[in-house]
Amino acid sequence: MLATRQPLLRRFWYPVLPASSLEEGPQPFTLLGQRLVIWRQDDGQYAALEDRCAHRSAALSKGWVDKGAIVCPYHGWAYDLKGVCLRIPQRPDSGPSKQPVVKSFACSERYGYVWVALDDPLAPIPDWAEEGDPAYRRIDQFYEPWNCASFRLMENSFDNAHIHFVHRNTFGDINDPNPPQPTIERDELSFVARSDVPVFNTEEQKRNLRDDSPVTIRHIAATWYLPFLRRLHIRYPSGLEHIIITAATPVADDACQVVQFCFRNDTEADAPAANIIAFDRRVTAEDKEVLEATDHDVPMDMNSGIEKHMPSDQPGLLMRRMLLELLARHGETEQTRHYHHAA
Ligand code: FES
Ligand code: CO
């Protein structure tokens, strides 16, 4: 599947930028091949427009915000958040354009990030109750580009078999390669996979988890939000909760922006955020190394024979099935260079 060629994928919310980055002015971001300029208005509203001035195509992201409008750096045309041209400095009497002249997109802030949907969203941004709950803290972990398909990272999150190989140097046990099968509960646009996975408790993790046992159990409830968002809820035997939110925001067919933050029900005195990030950093780097060496055109058709499967691939196979079903419901077929789908 080539993500930029599936219009359906435009109908979801994706986190694109840390909201704080807009304090420095308008920022560019490319979402599913669509170049955007994102900015924050004086009244606190967030805006996303096509990053192309209607006059001579200059990048609006190189401009600035003035009186609630984004100003093109080339000749100063100014646009509101709907793409209406409010002012043309060379024609002071012209008044605002009757229609928007630059395309605008839905844009909103949640969890400290700016989210964008290119077309009418099929589902809202998920509500996670930990946000704003004093029993939990939110830790921003990563915001970085990866050279792999968004889908590869999503599938990886639900693939318990990779833990014991990819993460053999951090917490996996290469001598115990066959993971427990999760039980999966599916909804229309999401599923939850539950499993209990025994893992090594490294010296570093003993401190982060405040648990001295050599082996611990991760009680996992992993939620996939179609297409490229997941919530990994890990509960340890001590009662500690580590809830990782990861988005693989699709930039291009072969590139995504990884946005990751976590919630914890402990305190900075229990485990400093820097140590928690350091452990997740090492684990994530192990995934990145492998995933950037995969084919970005993931075949969704499980019977194509292009990729073979094993029993532990079940969550990833369900992801393919759900994506294909949704595409079909919207009259779309999978776009790929591997094979041709009859419409
Ligand atoms: Fe933007 Fe001329 S290109 S004002
Ligand atoms: Co991993």
Number of domains in the chain: 2
Question: Is residue 200 predicted with pLDDT exceeding 80?
Answer: no
- Closest-CA residue, ligand 1 atom 2, reads 75
- pLDDT at 210 (0 to 100): 79
Instruction: Tell me if 124 is assigned to some domain.
Output: no
**Which percentage of the chain shows pLDDT scores above 70?**
99
- Dist CA 257 CA 271 (whole Å): 27
pLDDT band at 342; cut points 50, 70, 90: low
What is residue 341's predicted lDDT score, i.e. its pLDDT?
A: 62
300 lines ligand 1 (CB under 6 A): no
Q: Which amino acid is at 13?
A: W
pTM as predicted: 0.95
Domain boundary among 63, 88, 117: 117
Judge if 166 and 295 occupy the same domain. yes
Q: What is the 3-class SS of 229-276, one letter each residue? A: EEEEEEECCCCCEEEEEEEEEEEECCEEEEEEEEEECCCCCCCCHHHH
Q: What is the CATH number of the domain that holds 239?
A: 3.90.380.10
Sign of CA dihedral 9, 11, 15, 17: positive
Claim to verify: residue 239 and residue 144 sit in the same structural domain: yes
Domain extent at residue 48: 3-117
Task: Flag whether 130 is in a domain.
Answer: no
- For the residues 240-255, what does the mean pLDDT come to? 97
Structure tokens that stand for 314 in this block:
């079940």
Q: Would you say residue 45 has pLDDT above 90?
A: yes
Residues 156 and 41 in one domain: no
Both 65 and 193 in one domain: the answer is: no
CA distance 51 to 249: 18
Give the Å distance between the CA of 75 and the centre of ligand 1.
5
- pLDDT beyond 90 at 212: no
Position 6 scores a pLDDT of 98
**Residue 123 included in any domain:** no
The reply to whether 57 and 148 lie within a common domain is no
Q: For residue 337, how many other CB atoms are within 10 A of its CB?
A: 10
The answer on 56 and 143 residing in a single domain is: no
Q: What SS3 string covers 200-235?
A: ECCHHHHHHHCCCCCEEEEEEEEEEECCCEEEEEEE
Written as one string, the DSSP assignment of 89-158 is TT-TTS-S-SSBSS-EEEEEEETTEEEEESS--SSPPPP-TTTT-TT-EEEEEEEEEESS-HHHHHHHHT
| Same-domain check for residues 100 and 229 | no
Q: What is the pLDDT of residues 145-158, one digit of tens each?
A: 999 999 999 999 99
Please give the Cα distance from 125 to 200 (Å, whole number): 34
341 lies in some domain: no
> Is the CB–ligand 1 distance for residue 53 below 6 Å?
yes
The answer to whether the beta carbons of residues 264 and 274 sit under 8 Å apart is: no
- The protein residue whose alpha carbon is closest to atom 4 in ligand 1 is 75
Tokens 């669509």 correspond to: 34
Q: What is the 297 CA–ligand 2 centroid distance (Å)?
A: 20
Query: Do both 288 and 160 map to the same domain?
Result: yes
pLDDT confidence tier of residue 213, bands split at 50, 70 and 90:
confident
Q: Which ligand does the CA of 168 lie closest to? A: 2
Residue 310 half-sphere exposure toward CB, CA atoms < 13 A: 9
For the residues 84-94, what does the mean pLDDT come to?
A: 96
Peptide bond into 180 cis (omega under 30): no
Are 200 and 288 in the same domain?
yes
Same domain, 69 and 190: no
Q: What is the pLDDT averaged over residues 177-181?
A: 82
pLDDT in tens, 300-336: 999 899 999 999 999 999 999 999 999 999 999 999 9
17 shares its domain with 60: yes
Taking the C-alpha atoms of residue 107 and residue 85, their distance in angstroms, rounded to an integer, is 19
136 pLDDT higher than 60: yes
331 is a domain residue: no
> Does residue 93 carry a pLDDT above 90?
yes
Nearest CA to ligand 1 atom 3: 56
pLDDT band at 190 (very low <50, low <70, confident <90, very high): very high
In tens, the pLDDT along 54-80 reads 999 999 999 999 988 999 999 999 999
pLDDT for the residue numbered 132: 92
For the chain, what is the mean pLDDT? Answer: 94
CATH of the domain at 65: 2.102.10.10
- Co-location of 164 and 257 in the same domain: yes
Measured in Å, residue 100 CA sits from the centre of ligand 2 at: 44
